[in-house]
């Protein structure tokens, strides 16, 4: 059996090597000739999977190690009888931890406390629900906007988009949908941006086209009071450098890039492929996931809960490092810009989730323990 896989899916050769011969390829720019004789195709969000790529091939199963599927023509695959599996929730924890890190960094930079501030969580699925849990642990008031969940009768209280947009923080966690009952393409556009109150923090870790990047740049040019964090961009990897200059934190689509999350995604599509083929499962991510180094926060246990949380979070993952690396693009020639964005993703350093990182600390107060546990740390 021939398996063609994106070279940036971690441990994909070890996992899928139990099923056949694995050929690694760059995911962006994948061409029909490279998959013509493949039985299984494994991709990430940078590869468009549709009739153009697969027509005439012998591919019978597609696995995407991603939580989204807007890069896959599901109708075409279904019509051809091609199996499909994605990895919903695989990197949701690390994406939520990215939001926590970003907000704690901004709170320090702006001299404000997060506790007591309001957050509009737009989209409360795998990522948004984890964001809600963690920001609630920090004492923030979360207002959830999710029309599909609300229409499905999900438990919990929901607010309108208008109410979510007037919060102190607005964080977006929706799939990219261009059609249907709840389209999200350019959900954040000029009209929604105009509703943001002075001093609002806007975070987008969903998909680049959920926010109209041109409208966002236009607004930031006249409203320096707004603070924007972008991990996702329209036209990746050819992102808007004028917009990067204006955002407070900009990163190269790596919010969900913890090693834990990426290996979880590999295991999810591997298990789905085994089920599709009727083969036994003989590999799991725990076999290659190394123990994380302990993090000593003892010096901060005499501080308040939010200061201790900042020390623990930034010691585990500090979003500013990724922001600095992306901004090195300004020193490069224009023809190198897109390649730099992709290189940062391809060569991303090992990052572990909070729960995997042992904390060394002095005795904690009940409140400190509650906050750290709410953020996902094992205390």
DSSP 281: P
- Active-site residue identified among 130, 207, 246, 264: 207
**Residue 372 CB neighbour total at 10 angstroms:** 23
Place of tokens 């290996």: 263
- Active-site residue identified among 28, 130, 186, 253: 253
> Is-contact 39 1, C-beta < 8 A?
yes
Question: Catalytic annotation on 177?
Answer: no
How far is residue 308's CA from residue 295's CA, in Å, rounded to a whole number?
12
Q: Measured between alpha carbons, how far is residue 354 from residues 9, 163, 260, 288, 367 in Å?
A: 22, 31, 10, 18, 18
How far is residue 348's CA from residue 23's CA, in Å, rounded to a whole number?
21
Q: Measured between alpha carbons, how far is residue 358 from residues 105, 135, 235, 296 in Å?
A: 22, 21, 38, 9
Question: Catalytic annotation on 253?
Answer: yes
How far is residue 54's CA from residue 74's CA, in Å, rounded to a whole number?
12
How far is residue 111's CA from residue 258's CA, in Å, rounded to a whole number?
28
Tokens (6 digits) for 315: 């010691």
- Active-site residue identified among 236, 267, 306, 353: 236
Q: Classify each residue of 14-39 as buried b or exposed e, where b means 16 or more C-beta atoms within 10 Å of its C-beta.
A: ebbeebbebeebebbebeeebbbebb
> Is-contact 252 326, C-beta < 8 A?
yes
> Is-contact 141 119, C-beta < 8 A?
yes
Question: Catalytic annotation on 207?
Answer: yes
* Catalytic residue numbers, as ranges: 207, 236, 253
């Amino acid at each position: 059996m021939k398996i063609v896989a994106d070279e940036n899916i971690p441990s994909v050769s070890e996992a899928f090597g139990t099923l056949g011969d694995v050929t690694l390829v760059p995911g962006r720019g994948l061409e029909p000739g490279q998959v013509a004789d493949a039985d299984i195709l494994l991709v990430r969000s940078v590869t468009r999977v549709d009739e153009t790529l697969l027509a005439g091939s012998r591919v019978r199963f597609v696995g995407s190690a991603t939580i989204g599927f807007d890069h896959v023509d599901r109708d075409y695959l279904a019509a051809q009888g091609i199996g499909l599996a994605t990895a919903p929730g695989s990197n949701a924890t690390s994406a939520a931890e990215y939001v926590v890190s970003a907000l704690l960094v901004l709170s320090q930079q702006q001299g404000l406390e997060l506790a007591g501030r309001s957050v509009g969580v737009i989209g409360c699925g795998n990522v948004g629900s984890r964001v809600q849990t963690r920001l609630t642990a920090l004492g923030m008031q979360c207002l959830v906007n999710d029309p599909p969940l609300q229409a499905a009768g999900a438990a919990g209280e929901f607010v309108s988009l208008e109410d979510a947009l007037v919060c102190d923080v607005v964080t977006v966690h929706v799939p990219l949908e261009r059609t249907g009952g709840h389209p999200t393409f350019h959900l954040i556009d000029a009209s929604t941006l105009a509703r943001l109150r002075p001093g609002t923090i806007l975070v987008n870790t969903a998909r680049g086209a959920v926010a109209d990047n041109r409208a966002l740049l236009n607004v930031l040019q006249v409203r320096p009071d707004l603070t924007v964090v972008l991990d996702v961009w329209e036209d990746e990897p050819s992102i808007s450098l004028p917009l990067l200059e204006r955002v407070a934190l900009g990163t190269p689509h790596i919010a969900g890039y913890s090693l834990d999350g990426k290996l979880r995604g590999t295991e999810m599509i591997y298990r789905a492929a085994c089920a599709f083929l009727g083969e036994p499962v003989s590999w799991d991510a725990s076999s290659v996931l190394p123990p994380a180094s302990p993090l000593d926060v003892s010096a901060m246990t005499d501080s308040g809960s939010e200061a201790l949380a900042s020390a623990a979070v930034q010691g585990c993952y500090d979003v500013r490092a990724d922001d600095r690396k992306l901004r090195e693009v300004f020193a490069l020639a224009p023809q190198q810009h897109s390649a730099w964005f992709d290189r940062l993703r391809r060569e991303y350093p090992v990052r572990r989730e909070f729960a995997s990182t042992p904390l060394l600390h002095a005795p904690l107060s009940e409140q400190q323990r509650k906050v750290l546990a709410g953020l996902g740390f094992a205390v």
